[in-house]
């Protein structure tokens, strides 16, 4: 995955968004009635999409307060709260499909591994949506924002703040591979973001979401009405976040209970379950065999059921989920989806080529030699993802100071048309108007 910056060096080191272009597309209904301002600790990444749009912003009479931060994860689960939503898409409702799983993790204090190469989230955000116009097309986006300005530390039994957060990292947005798709498509089945990857590599070339380790984050899901990825104008935005999806990013699990939960719930970690060959008992046995020197391979040593010794301590007894609901949508999503409504490029093509978000023509190759994925793998990745890297807010780098209650950054504003996230040359904006490769 190439970052747009690498694809379009001529555009400079970043993509600053320009004001909406004249000659607004009237393919969408006129501006919805309300503009929204929203209190947020995070300067909205998508604001840069919307700069210059807010002709007459209005604030909500009673902006919803942010949920109080628990003093430490793991001590007490935060009280259940409805998902917070920013709506300029009336009637659109998003619900977290795997809420129970998230709640289970949240009650312990969710941790997400981040690695240089990128690590998937588990649990992943999986949502179902209702209230969309079945005919209209939408984009699903996901981003992750810091919850506060603190760094955290595992103190043996709980997470506690320990100092100030690291400077803000580049904001990136994950675009769901099916985007854009019709409302009917999105409502047909749950929408899973299980392919999102998190990294701590600030120079990450793959477009993964960049996080600091030992910081607390909150995923957000955005729904954007747009005729196509390459549409010049967007027709409304709704943003959602679910309090139970808050997590702390780590490079190695700190809370053993989280490790147990992950092993129990994640099918990829099946090998670490009690009956797996990679459980602690087996690993210890392998180490002993190694120390003693080569031995004939014992047949039937695994899963015989009569192996000596107690249960492995790396598993969560009685909580093994053989059919993991988390992975169920994967197969559904991998199943042939309706052709992307953009006509030419498939969703995958968009995702392999972030530039396609500008409106790449349909004859894009699915992969170019310049892609690192192609170099080390002769097999095409079944899916990748598209990301947008956005300009930091006006505050620049560094965490925003705790926003005063009365100060609301303009968030998702209705009143389109929305400019493309990448202003680029006009040729980038129209499908087929100019080949980019």
Partner DNA sequence: TCACCTATCACCTTTGAATGGA
Partner DNA sequence: ATCCATTCAAAGGTGATAGGTG
Contacting positions for DNA (CB under 7 A): 113, 115-117, 119-120, 122, 153-154, 162, 195, 197, 200-201, 213-214, 250-254, 259, 262-263, 266-272, 276-278, 280, 282-283, 286, 314, 324, 327, 330-331, 334, 373, 376-379, 381-383
Specify the residue, 108 or 269, whose C-beta has the smaller distance to DNA: 269
Specify the residue, 26 or 377, whose C-beta has the smaller distance to DNA: 377
Closest approach of DNA to the CB of residue 399, in Å: 17
Instruction: Show Cβ contacts of residue 48 under 8 Å, excluding neighbours closer than 6 positions.
Output: 16, 17, 390, 391, 393, 421
Specify the residue, 60 or 330, whose C-beta has the smaller distance to DNA: 330
Closest approach of DNA to the CB of residue 184, in Å: 23
Closest approach of DNA to the CB of residue 165, in Å: 12
Specify the residue, 297 or 406, whose C-beta has the smaller distance to DNA: 297
Specify the residue, 35 or 266, whose C-beta has the smaller distance to DNA: 266
Closest approach of DNA to the CB of residue 146, in Å: 15
Specify the residue, 236 or 276, whose C-beta has the smaller distance to DNA: 276
- Ramachandran class of 398: left when φ > 0, alpha when ψ lies in -120 to 50, beta otherwise: left
Closest approach of DNA to the CB of residue 151, in Å: 8
Residue from 418, 434, 6, 368 nearest 228 by CA: 418
Closest approach of DNA to the CB of residue 264, in Å: 10
Closest approach of DNA to the CB of residue 272, in Å: 5
Closest approach of DNA to the CB of residue 159, in Å: 10
Residue position matching structure tokens 């998702």: 412
Contact in structure between 161 and 150 (CB atoms under 8 Å): yes
Specify the residue, 58 or 286, whose C-beta has the smaller distance to DNA: 286
Specify the residue, 192 or 246, whose C-beta has the smaller distance to DNA: 192
């Amino acid at each position: 995955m190439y970052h747009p910056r690498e694809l379009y060096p001529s555009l400079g080191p970043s993509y600053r968004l320009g004001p909406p272009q004249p000659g607004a597309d009237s393919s969408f209904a006129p501006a919805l009635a309300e503009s929204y301002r929203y209190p947020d600790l995070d300067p909205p990444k998508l604001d840069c999409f919307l700069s210059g749009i807010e002709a007459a912003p209005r604030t909500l009479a009673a902006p919803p307060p942010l949920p109080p931060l628990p003093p430490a994860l793991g001590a007490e689960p935060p009280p259940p709260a409805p998902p917070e939503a920013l709506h300029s898409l009336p009637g659109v409702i998003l619900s977290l499909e795997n809420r129970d799983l998230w709640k289970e993790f949240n009650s312990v204090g969710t941790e997400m591994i981040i690695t240089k190469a990128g690590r998937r989230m588990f649990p992943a955000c999986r949502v179902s949506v209702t209230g969309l116009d079945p005919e209209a097309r939408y984009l699903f986006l996901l981003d992750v924002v810091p919850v506060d300005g603190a760094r955290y530390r595992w103190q043996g039994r709980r997470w506690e703040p320990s100092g100030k957060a690291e400077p803000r990292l580049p904001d990136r947005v994950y675009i769901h591979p099916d985007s854009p798709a019709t409302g009917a498509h999105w409502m047909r089945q749950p929408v899973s973001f299980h392919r999102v990857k998190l990294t701590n590599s600030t120079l990450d070339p793959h477009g993964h979401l960049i996080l600091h380790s030992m910081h607390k984050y909150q995923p957000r899901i955005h729904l954007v009405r747009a005729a196509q990825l390459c549409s010049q104008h967007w027709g409304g935005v709704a943003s959602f976040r679910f309090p139970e999806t808050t997590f702390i990013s780590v490079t190695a699990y700190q809370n053993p209970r989280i490790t147990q939960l992950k092993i129990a719930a994640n099918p990829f970690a099946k090998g670490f379950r009690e009956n797996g060959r990679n459980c602690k008992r087996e690993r210890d046995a392998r180490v002993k065999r190694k120390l003693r020197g080569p031995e004939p391979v014992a047949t039937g040593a695994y899963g015989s059921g009569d192996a000596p010794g107690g249960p492995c301590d790396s598993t969560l007894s009685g909580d093994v989920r053989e059919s993991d609901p988390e992975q169920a949508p994967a197969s559904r999503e991998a199943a042939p989806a309706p052709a992307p409504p953009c006509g030419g490029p498939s969703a995958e093509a968009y995702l392999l080529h972030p530039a396609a978000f500008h409106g790449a023509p349909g004859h894009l190759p699915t992969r170019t030699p310049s892609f690192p994925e192609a170099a080390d793998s002769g097999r095409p990745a079944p899916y990748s993802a598209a990301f947008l890297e956005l300009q930091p807010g006006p505050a620049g780098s560094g965490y925003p100071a705790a926003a005063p209650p009365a100060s609301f950054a303009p968030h998702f504003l209705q009143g389109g048309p929305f400019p493309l996230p990448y202003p680029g040359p006009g040729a980038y904006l129209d499908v087929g108007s100019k080949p980019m490769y």
